[in-house]
Structure 1
Amino acid sequence: MEAMTHPFIIQTLAALAGNPTLLGVDVILVATILSAVAALAVLTAIYAATTVKDPMAKRVKALNARREQLKAGIVASTNKRKKLNHQNQAADRVRSILSQFRMLQEDQIKVTQEKLMQAGIRSKELAYFIIFARFVLPVVLGLTAVVVVYLVDYFPEWGWIKKYGVTAFTILGAYKAPDIWLKNKISKRSDAIRKGLPDALDLLVICAEAGLTVDAAFNRVSKELGRAYPELGDEFGLTAIELGFLAERRQAFEHLARRVDLEAIRGVVTTMIQTEKYGTPLASALRVLSAEFRNERMMRAEEKAARLPAIMTIPLILFILPVLFIVILGPAACAISDNFINR
């Protein structure tokens, strides 16, 4: 085996030694690696395009589970009950660990659970894991940074200020990482809901004028907008379920306002509660809200368009104007230099 391997290695090294190089880098080797990466990207894109899943399938399953919980207070199927029991056991272990270190506060748990709901995560037990991650990640990553930077001295050329800065940044980033992840998910979900809210209100107006009840209208809108705006369809579908099963309809609207971190949703909830309380016409109020939200969306688009010239100033100065100067003044500079050289 060694007799066959050594000649092959020698031939490969000889072939690589004869390849052209650029700044000491083998051009053929780099081109081969880039071609492999491009082929992998193409295969990944093809796989992602051919395995598109319905975005509402998982959400409909979660809504059905919520419906069963509202009906009986427990999950109907045995498999789901076992899964929930397993999750509760893991959450109990994490809760006991946090209780030993006196890191559990009721206000902190409620705020974290509310943020999880705003991010579209229905499991309340995940709040304990988020709090646990705030405690564990700084310790683990901080110790790793200390070992790598100070004990192993992996970067001997760094000064003490740079070493201290990297260690402190690692510990602070590890502590803030769960909150940043939650905030990012909440922001993306809120933006997606904000985009589809005017269309949803228009459909609610049509359903109200057609004579549908409020819960039937929310259910219909969630089905119609489920594919275009799955986040909004999810929230409206859950609101329709709670309108049908909760004792007070006001609670369902208040839950919607807590689950979505948007001032527009709070305005819709206030309007719905007032129409339920005072009997005011629902269609006219929703039509006014829809017009306001469309005007706000147009104003945001106009604001972004107005900021565009100021944003484009720096790229214009750095990248476009130098190229224009080279193209325009380059031939004249070459002609002038040739004339001086000839003289």
Structure 2
Amino acid sequence: MAPTTPTILGIDVLWVATILSGVAAFAVMVAIYAVTTSRDPMTKRVKALNDRREQLKAGITASTKRRAKLVQRNDTADRMRAVLQSLSVLQEEQVKAAQIKLLQAGIRSKEWAVAVIFGRLVMPIVFGGLALLWVYGTEGFADWSPLKKYMLVAGTFILSYKAPDLFLKNKITKRSDAIRKGLPDALDLLVICAEAGLTVDAAFHRVARELGRAYPELGEEFSLTAIELGFLTDRRQAFENLAMRVDLDAVKGVVTTMIQTEKYGTPLASALRVLSAEFRNERMMRAEEKAARLPAIMTVPLILFILPTLFVVILGPAACSIKDSLISGS
């Protein structure tokens, strides 16, 4: 009698093990490639910011290629603005609010503010019209009740209208969380730079360069702030721009401290040291809160995924042995 390979629930164990080994080897190769080809995410951003600063100092608006892109982008934005103004749905307050959200999301181009407002107008018409045609113009939902059809169409209209705002809100949240993680380390480095005798501009440049690889979003904001401190006539405006670009109360507190030290000449290192200690305590409290919620969160994955796998690992060999014994006995 030919030897039979062990099976679990009718599936060949050796075949499954071969596939899993191949997947694991492919994942290892992908991880090695990602590690060996990783680049500094701050290099390109800082270079673009420095180039722009030099252009502003030299009185150059932009390079030829960049100017062509800006002209094309402005033409598109002007067309959308003209459509919105013809319909009397464009307000300057909406444009300014959209521009602030774009800055907080890390999108520097202000022309996208008109695109966001234009998307609020066009997307409900397009997707809502398609939903109306699909639900009421075809027989695709003939078995649905009128309430279900209405809920589907209304949900499509609402989601289409809210889609640009939800996209921006998601990007703002992710970016704010990334900046919040690196803010205590940045303040510690600012304290060291201040105690070493560096100016505020040089300190911001140094912190951006040191933390650019670990926290690229925070490094970008500090680099932009350092550049604005270098060429803006009002240094207070540079700090206020930083508070406007980052949707975090912690950053607003740092900006307030920096403005007060600039105005009254109070020691910068001591004030930043106190803020850094507070932010570290806050970060530790958030970590403890997440750790306290972990047992409740892990209950469902434990029941659905871990326990069945554990039963298969424990009882699988015994089931295979029992099956082989029954086959050989028969």
TM-score, with length taken from structure 2: 0.80
Structure 1 residue 151: deviation in Å?
Answer: 0.8
In structure 2, the partner of 1:19 is none
Counterpart amino acid of 2:156? Answer: T
Q: Which amino acid aligns with 2:125?
A: V
User: Structure 1 residues 76, 322: closer, same or farther in 2, change over 3 A?
Assistant: closer
**Amino acid aligned to 1:272:** M
Report the equivalent of 1:157: 143
Q: 1:88 to 1:320 in 2, by over 3 A?
A: closer
Quick one: structure 1 residues 323 and 80, their matched pair in 2 at CA, closer, same or farther if it must change by over 3 Å?
Answer: closer
Structure 1 residue 137 displacement after superposition: 0.6
- 1:143-183 Cα offsets, whole Å, 9 max, x none, are 11111111122232222222111111111111111100000
Distance apart, 1:74 and its partner CA: 4.7
> Relative to structure 1, is the Cα distance of residues 101 and 74 closer, same or farther in structure 2, using a 3 angstrom cutoff?
farther
Task: Give yes or no for contact 1:68–1:75 (8 Å, CA) kept in 2.
Answer: no
In structure 2, the residue matched to 1:120 is 106
Q: Distance in 1 between matches of 2:145 and 2:62?
A: 62
Over 3 Å counting, the alpha-carbon distance change for 1:113 and 1:62 in structure 2 is farther
Quick check: 92-101 or 312-321, which moved more? 312-321
- Residue type of the partner of 1:67? R
2: CA distance, partners of 1:58 / 1:139: 39
Q: How far apart are residue 53 of structure 1 and its match?
A: 3.9
**1:1-343 aligned within 5 A:** 51-68=37-54, 70-71=56-57, 74-313=60-299
What is the root-mean-square deviation in Å for CA atoms of aligned residues? 3.2
Q: Contact between 1:222 and 1:232, CA under 8 Å: does it hold in 2? A: yes
SS in 1 for 2:173: helix
CA deviation string 1:18-66 (max 9, x = no partner): xxxx9xxxxxxxx9xx99xx79x86977876665443113312441354
CA distance in 2, matches of 1:180, 1:210: 44
Sequence identity percentage? 71
Q: Which has the higher contact order (CA 8 A, sep 6+)?
A: 2
Q: Aligned AA for 1:87?
A: R
Number of matched pairs:
296
Residues 182-230 of structure 1: CA deviation (Å, up to 9, x unaligned): 0000000000000000110111011111110000000011011110100
Distance in 1 between residues matched to 2:61 and 2:221, nearest whole Å: 20
Q: Is the 8 A contact 1:253 1:269 kept in 2?
A: yes
Unaligned runs of 5+ in 2: 1-8, 10-15, 315-330
Residue 272 of structure 1 aligns to a residue whose secondary structure is helix
Say if 1:284 and 1:294 are closer, same or farther in 2 by CA, change over 3 A.
same
Letter in 1 for 2:126: V
Distance 1:197 1:235 in 2: 11
TM-score by length of 1: 0.78
